[in-house]
Structure 1
Amino acid sequence: MTPGEYLLGIDVGTTGSKALLIDSRGEIRGSATTEYPMHTPQPLWAEQDPEDWWRATVRSIRQVLEASQAQPQQVAAVGLTGQMHGLVLLDRAGKVLRPCIMWNDQRTALQCAAITERVGLERLLEWTGNPVLPGFTAPKILWVQENEPEVYRQIAHILLPKDYVRFRLTGALVSEVSDASGTSLFDVRRRAWCTEMLDALAVPREWLPEVTESPVVSAQVHAEAARATGLLEGTPVVGGAGDQAAQAVGTGVVHEGIVSVTIGTSGVVFAASEQYRVEPQGRLHAFCHAVPGKWHLMGVMLAAGGSLRWYRDALGETEKAEAQAKGRDPYDLLLEPAARIPAGCEGLLFLPYLSGERTPYPDPHARGVFFGLMLRHTKAHLTRAVLEGVSYGLRDSLELMKALGLRVEQVRASGGGARSSLWRQILADVLGTQIATVNVTEGAAYGAALLAGVGAQLYPSVEAACQQVVRITGTTVPGPASNVYGDYYPRYRALYAALAPEFRELARVVERHWMGNKER
């Protein structure tokens, strides 16, 4: 390995900081993750100490360099990615003023409503491409202003989580377009801070960092960080990307027509777009892509793989015990009988709204439902219905994208759910398109490393980097069941509209009795 041919990707995630070292051929040379806690000091709150991110990042970098026996001069560049939307506040000396308010913090419902009333949904979509959601950054700034005025008075700089790690690595106050898109302060069309939103919320422009494109070198590792991490002083650090955009780069979703579906606890449908598109009702996220001059649309369902895990934990005790005795995976034991059930489960439908829903229904009161149960149905029917229901939910996002004129030529599946051949076939049949898997399984950190390679000029472009290292490992094509699902999907779609009023009434009843029990 010649000097300067390793690439380091750093993922400042929700549970830990991951350092991934690859070579210019895309081969993984080392990986290390250091975990840190999340704090919930009050209901709906989620916070982390930015110092924990830095300590974990330093440890992970040192571990990966030692394990791979890479020399500092062999690291050509560093790419950053991580959890989006978090609010990190610094004073003039660069000191953190309070714990980061994270992406999954839900305390800002009142501030979101106030911003929407002040600006108007139509102008929010025009200016930022997205509605204001509790996880986004702008309403958190207002919350601090209203609830922690002493902290608010000391604000000099606002950063996102990965950009705080950049600050500690380089001393530079810099972000990039994909992560900035999730702040509700960014003009996604123009790829610049939105003056109208800053004025509407009285957020000074000087609080916000410079913004670059994702593969552009933003700064260099400074001497203090070099001593802490073992990296070479002066090593370039590129802009990087938010976690979903970096994940898309890592799986080669950089051209319009290629869509990624990630089935983790949640489900994410991510589509690259050659032009700026906004869903008229704001039901899809519209963000800048990590590829210069391109955008992406994203739909999120809250309980994808999470629905199957709930089902396993609630109804799969027999399979869990058998799996432990035989040294097998309980999911395999659940899914094997489900593969023998006909598509459509003989009229059994499952609504996967176990945690409420985000796309296409931003409804915290939505609930999970098995609909159409008969005496004929077995446990295997229930299992398959969960897989089908999640797949229908993912199709909801894809249909919104198609309605905006987005081409869909191939869907690349990743995440734990994509390891199931049965689920991949159901996805292909429900979505009516080819499902592909790729050789990359390291997620966002891998994409960040590829962005670093572009910044270091080891690749001429993000697209060229993906073409060189990301390979298709398998495909699943739609089969005859596609016609069956075409008949059942409208029935699935009709259920939410029919049940939405009852979801709201049920929530009121549950809250009334829960409060009554609490008082007793």
Structure 2
Amino acid sequence: MQFLGIDVGTEGTRALIIDEQGRVIASASEEHAPFASPQAGWAEQDPSDWWRACKLAVRRALAAANTGNDQIACVGFSGQMHGAVLLDRHDDVIRPALIWCDQRTEPQVRKLSEQFGTDRLIDLTCNAPLTNFTLTKLLWVRENEPHNWERVAHVLLPKDFVRFQLTGERAIDMADASGTLLLDVAHRRWSAEVLRATGIDLQLLPTLLESPDICGRVSARGAEATGLCAGTPVVVGAGDQAAGAVGTGIVRPGTVSATIGTSGVVFGATDRPALDPKGRIHTFCHAVPGRWHVMGVTQAAGLSLRWFRDRFGVLAKSHGDPYDQLAEEAAAAPPASDGVFWVPYLMGERTPHCDPNARAALIGLSALHTRSHVIRAILEGVAFSLRDTFTIFRELNVPVGRIRLGGGGARSPLWRQIQADVYGHAVEVLAVEEGAAYGAAILAGVGAGNWHSVESACDTVVRIAEEVQPNARDSTTLDQAYRSYRKIYPALQQIANATGAEAAISTTTLSIS
């Protein structure tokens, strides 16, 4: 038997096939069109482009596997969270999807806070209202595009739309539903009080299932489009963070991941909903039935380095991977970057500030500083931002016994060492790190009965390749720098309030593709 995982990301869709031992047989990817930003802070994608990319990626993965499509015993999904796909009664897309990083809904967040009170919303959903969450996007469309809202018959999240195209069934997993602000996370059901108070009809929402549950089968139309066999079972899967955690073995309390992709995430599994009364971190249902997870998010983690690359490039004499070249430059600067700090708030910030108007800053430059200092400051600044979440975990008594790295931050030896030094804790690197698509494939294997639980699957397939210890001297230096870093955001807020910088910034357009 083989299992197919499909990850519907922001930048592209990936299809990955594993065997019964969890070994990767083949994978393929297809890029999406860059998200559109019609106004500052807006972020939209065409859902049909996700389905186009899925069809191509699956066909390429099947071809690369060079085995019959009848070998695929089950399909699993993961995908970008929080997005709102609106369908009419004919199942046609009404408007472009508002995706996770869309920041236009600040007025709706304020109204929710006034209507419920933040404390009450945390009681009901385990989370404070943020612009990222799906509910705020639905309210924005209802208030600003009533002609579109009156046509809405179904609401799906991104991966669930693609799975609907494959199977014809509408469903959502507990983990992804947790990011809508419509789920009673503690009891794993839609919140009747939130739905009633906001006027959102329960009939608009898909069926709730646990991540390894089979939610449908590949339809004849889906089979023709992808090359899969009609009738192949499909599990509901999970949002990308929970699926990625499955793929890295973060399925029990005590082992925590720090993943640097476009965004950065610190993720820990818990046996109970661990609530932050200040709303700085998210408490969601896990992809493991009966478990929850806590999660802090840095909006622009890897995006910070990509922003530097796209705006300032790499040295003309350089060859090879541009990120390797940037890391080589950064290594020429000392720990703490000789007093240069990067505050990575290019897209506002979630943890710990919950501030969509937060802005990035490069602090401490002098005529003596070089590109190397700036690049290293970016690597350190992202790690400082992720450390903010570890600080909150300690406050909430979330156990951190082992830290496992993922994403681009795990592939760079320098960034691995910086993270160990900033966290003051040994970090682990996996032998194979295939991201959320791998977790989706594992969930498919559990759904098909190849493994009897998500935990047993991870015990079988997840292996550690390296452990990086913190350097005592550098860790002390970076701990002192982190204390200075923590003072920058409050100072920037004072400047913004005094100069009206937020209003000035809001008239510009930022497009990152």
TM-score computed with the length of structure 2 as normaliser: 0.91
In 2: Cα distance, 1:331 partner to 1:416 partner: 9
Indicate whether 1:322 and 2:314 are aligned: no
Residue of structure 2 aligned with 1:398, choices 380, 390, 397: 390
Q: Secondary structure at the match of 1:18?
A: strand
Q: Shift of residue 433 of structure 1?
A: 1.2
The residue that corresponds to 1:411 in the other structure is 403
Q: Shift of residue 133 of structure 1?
A: 1.9
The residue that corresponds to 2:26 in the other structure is 30
Q: Structure 1 residues 73, 311: CA separation in 2 closer, same or farther (over 3 Å shift)?
A: closer
Q: Secondary structure at the match of 1:261?
A: strand
Q: Structure 1 residues 505, 358: CA separation in 2 closer, same or farther (over 3 Å shift)?
A: farther
Q: Which deviates the most, 344-353 or 396-405?
A: 344-353
The residue that corresponds to 1:420 in the other structure is 412
The residue that corresponds to 2:87 in the other structure is 90
The residue that corresponds to 1:461 in the other structure is 453
Residue of structure 1 aligned with 2:489, choices 488, 496, 502: 496
In 2: Cα distance, 1:370 partner to 1:158 partner: 40
Superposition misfits of 4+ residues, deviation over 6 angstroms: 512-515
Q: Deviations over 1:462-520 (max 9, x none)?
A: 111111111111110122122333333222212322332113334538719979xxxxx
Over the matched positions of the two proteins, sequence identity in percent amounts to 50
Indicate whether 1:16 and 2:20 are aligned: no
Indicate whether 1:344 and 2:336 are aligned: yes
The residue that corresponds to 1:133 in the other structure is 130
The residue that corresponds to 1:518 in the other structure is none
Indicate whether 1:360 and 2:360 are aligned: no
In 1: Cα distance, 2:233 partner to 2:262 partner: 34
Q: Deviations over 1:436-478 (max 9, x none)?
A: 1113332111110000000001011111111111111111012
2:349–2:355: 8 Å Cα contact kept in structure 1?
A: yes
Q: Deviations over 1:254-303 (max 9, x none)?
A: 12111111222332211222221111111111111111111111111123
Larger radius of gyration: 1
Q: Shift of residue 15 of structure 1?
A: 2.8
Letter matched to residue 271 of structure 1: G
Q: Structure 1 residues 494, 231: CA separation in 2 closer, same or farther (over 3 Å shift)?
A: same
Q: Structure 1 residues 431, 196: CA separation in 2 closer, same or farther (over 3 Å shift)?
A: same
In 2: Cα distance, 1:139 partner to 1:513 partner: 19
Q: Shift of residue 434 of structure 1?
A: 1.2
Letter matched to residue 261 of structure 2: G
Q: Which deviates the most, 480-489 or 504-513?
A: 504-513
For this pair of structures, how many residues does the alignment match? 506
Q: Shift of residue 225 of structure 1?
A: 2.1
Indicate whether 1:108 and 2:100 are aligned: no
Letter matched to residue 110 of structure 1: P
Indicate whether 1:444 and 2:441 are aligned: no
Unaligned runs of 5+ in 2: 509-513
Letter matched to residue 99 of structure 2: M
Letter matched to residue 118 of structure 1: Q
Mapping of 1:65-464 within 5 angstroms?
65-312=62-309, 320-323=315-318, 327-336=319-328, 338-339=330-331, 341-373=333-365, 379-464=371-456
2:167–2:217: 8 Å Cα contact kept in structure 1?
A: yes
Q: Shift of residue 351 of structure 1?
A: 2.8
In 1: Cα distance, 2:506 partner to 2:24 partner: 54
Q: Secondary structure at the match of 1:126?
A: helix
Unaligned runs of 5+ in 1: 516-520
Q: Structure 1 residues 230, 389: CA separation in 2 closer, same or farther (over 3 Å shift)?
A: closer
1:185–1:194: 8 Å Cα contact kept in structure 2?
A: yes
2:283–2:294: 8 Å Cα contact kept in structure 1?
A: yes
Q: Structure 1 residues 509, 115: CA separation in 2 closer, same or farther (over 3 Å shift)?
A: closer
1:263–1:414: 8 Å Cα contact kept in structure 2?
A: yes
In 2: Cα distance, 1:333 partner to 1:158 partner: 43
Letter matched to residue 385 of structure 1: A
In 1: Cα distance, 2:307 partner to 2:445 partner: 40
Mapping of 1:21-60 within 5 angstroms?
21-37=17-33, 38-60=35-57
1:409–1:434: 8 Å Cα contact kept in structure 2?
A: no
1:365–1:503: 8 Å Cα contact kept in structure 2?
A: no
2:40–2:506: 8 Å Cα contact kept in structure 1?
A: no
Letter matched to residue 80 of structure 2: Q
1:365–1:504: 8 Å Cα contact kept in structure 2?
A: no
In 2: Cα distance, 1:379 partner to 1:128 partner: 44
Q: Which deviates the most, 139-148 or 114-123?
A: 139-148
In 1: Cα distance, 2:158 partner to 2:398 partner: 31
Q: Which deviates the most, 265-274 or 172-181?
A: 265-274
Letter matched to residue 142 of structure 2: Q
Q: Secondary structure at the match of 1:320?
A: coil
Q: Shift of residue 135 of structure 1?
A: 2.2
TM-score computed with the length of structure 1 as normaliser: 0.90
Letter matched to residue 491 of structure 1: S
Q: Deviations over 1:31-58 (max 9, x none)?
A: 2223332344444433333333223322
Cα RMSD (Å): 2.5
Q: Deviations over 1:223-255 (max 9, x none)?
A: 332233222222111110001111111111112
Letter matched to residue 24 of structure 1: E
In 2: Cα distance, 1:307 partner to 1:34 partner: 23
